[in-house]
Amino acid sequence: MAARAVIIGGGVVGCVTAIKLKESGYDVTVVDKSFVGEESSAAGAGIIFPLMPWNYESKVYQLCSGALGFYKNLSEKLINGGYGDPEFIESGMICIEPPDKKEIVQWAKKNNFKINKCFFNSRPSIEFANVAQLNPKKLMISLKHYIEGLGIKLIENCNLKKIQKKSNYLNGWPTDNNDLIEGDIFIITAGAWSSHIINNDKDEIYPVRGQLIKFKKPSIILDKILYSKNFYLLQRKCGSIVAGSTIENVGFDNTTTFQAAKELKEKTINLIPELKEFEPYEQWAGLRPGVKNNIPLIKRDNIHKNIYINSGHYRYGITMAPKSADEILKLIKV
């Protein structure tokens, strides 16, 4: 009989981990406190690149490597299988007037990453060719159906509680209704809530709110992602333009604010003055699973030998999900 793996949290990290475990022969169940793919993973911008890898420790880019190929391949499977189009586009990205040009050039050389000098509206810029984007909301809807199609069991509306018993081996994880979800291994992929369900990682993962706004189909074509000073603009397949995002430490509050919409619009106009006449028609927020140094926790629990943690992907969880799942798989096989 195949070993039973229980994935706690059905965001992008949980779903991609579930796929990789299923492909390795596990009997996989994904449990979510609400619905699969409706939290941070659906709220993201969908840029497949860690916006400024030259500013981070090399581990961050290492966890992002291979993501473009993974999503290109997954996107084909989702479309061909009739699960939906996650709108994957190899658009590239333009970094406008970067203040850290020297660091970018050094980073690109070291990592063999193709960059080109260019101009955006007469502003000196750098083009990053191998950057892709997708629509996270659409990705999560199609991913949910895809994993069900692979024979992965989904249990929704099931909140798993913090475990109290400190034994070496856990046979079942308690739910709010005092049921037990049985399994041979448990993988915590509960995003910003991960530190709520395990005692010994208290406060290592915390929520960081991000807000985005969207402009309805202006007559502007943005064939590349635009990035400038921690702000980005990108265009969805339908023509809408997405602008983001804020970085706010406000706890588990994912409401949107007037102030954020105002600031994001001002930054938008700075890059595309024509958008001055447009008002954003949609605004939303998500809670990123924050960690102190941008490096997620991918490890076996210190006490329980059959609990693993794959969480804390902060700003780049969509991009890091495939490599993080590979790392968890390696740990399980040790």
Ligand X SMILES: Cc1cc2nc3c(=O)[nH]c(=O)nc-3n(C[C@H](O)[C@H](O)[C@H](O)COP(=O)(O)OP(=O)(O)OC[C@H]3O[C@@H](n4cnc5c(N)ncnc54)[C@H](O)[C@@H]3O)c2cc1C
Q: How far is the CB of 270 from ligand X (least distance, A)?
A: 19
Q: How far is the CB of 324 from ligand X (least distance, A)?
A: 9
Q: Residue 92 or 191: which CB sits closer to ligand X?
A: 191
Structure tokens given for 10: 């059905």
190 touching ligand X, by CB under 6 A: yes
Window 267-296: contact mask with ligand X (x via CB under 6 A): -------------------x-xx-------
In sequence order, the 6+-apart residues with CB closer than 8 A to the CB of 269 are 275, 276
322 touching ligand X, by CB under 6 A: no
Q: Of residues 28, 47, 226, 260, which one binds ligand X by CB under 6 A?
A: 47
Q: How far apart are CA 9 and CA 17, in angstroms?
A: 10
Name the one range near ligand X by CB under 6 A: 36-44, 110-118, 220-228, 297-305. Answer: 36-44
Q: Residue 78 or 242: which CB sits closer to ligand X?
A: 242
Q: Residue 174 or 218: which CB sits closer to ligand X?
A: 174
Please report, for residues 75, 131, 137, 217, the alpha-carbon distance to residue 221 in angstroms, rounded to integers and kept in the order given: 23, 18, 22, 9
Quick check: 198 and 205 in contact, CB under 8 A? Answer: no
Within 298-317, the residues that bind ligand X by CB under 6 A are 311, 313-317
Please report, for residues 32, 113, 222, 261, the alpha-carbon distance to residue 37 in angstroms, rounded to integers and kept in the order given: 9, 31, 27, 24
Q: Of residues 34, 111, 230, 270, which one binds ligand X by CB under 6 A?
A: 34
Question: How many residues bind ligand X, per CB under 6 A?
Answer: 42
Q: How far apart are CA 308 and CA 295, in angstroms?
A: 16
Q: How far is the CB of 102 from ligand X (least distance, A)?
A: 25
Q: How far apart are CA 266 and CA 302, in angstroms?
A: 47
Q: Which helix (H) or strand (E) holds 252?
A: none
The CA dihedral of 177, 157, 182, 307, to the nearest 10 degrees, is: -110
Q: Of residues 12, 226, 233, 241, which one binds ligand X by CB under 6 A?
A: 12
Window 205-234: contact mask with ligand X (x via CB under 6 A): -----x-x----------------------
Q: Of residues 5, 11, 26, 92, which one binds ligand X by CB under 6 A?
A: 11
Q: How far apart are CA 262 and CA 25, in angstroms?
A: 50
Q: Residue 12 or 275: which CB sits closer to ligand X?
A: 12
9 touching ligand X, by CB under 6 A: yes
Tell me 195's DSSP state: G
Within 130-189, the residues that bind ligand X by CB under 6 A are 159-160, 189
Q: How far is the CB of 212 from ligand X (least distance, A)?
A: 5
32 touching ligand X, by CB under 6 A: yes
- Which regions of the chain does DSSP assign to beta strands (E)? 4-8, 27-31, 47-48, 93-96, 115-120, 123-128, 132-133, 153-155, 172-174, 180-182, 185-188, 206-215, 225-228, 231-235, 241-244, 282-290, 297-300, 307-311
Q: Where do contacts with ligand X occur on this chain (CB under 6 A)?
A: 8-14, 31-34, 39-41, 43-47, 159-160, 189-193, 197, 210, 212, 244-245, 286, 288-289, 311, 313-319
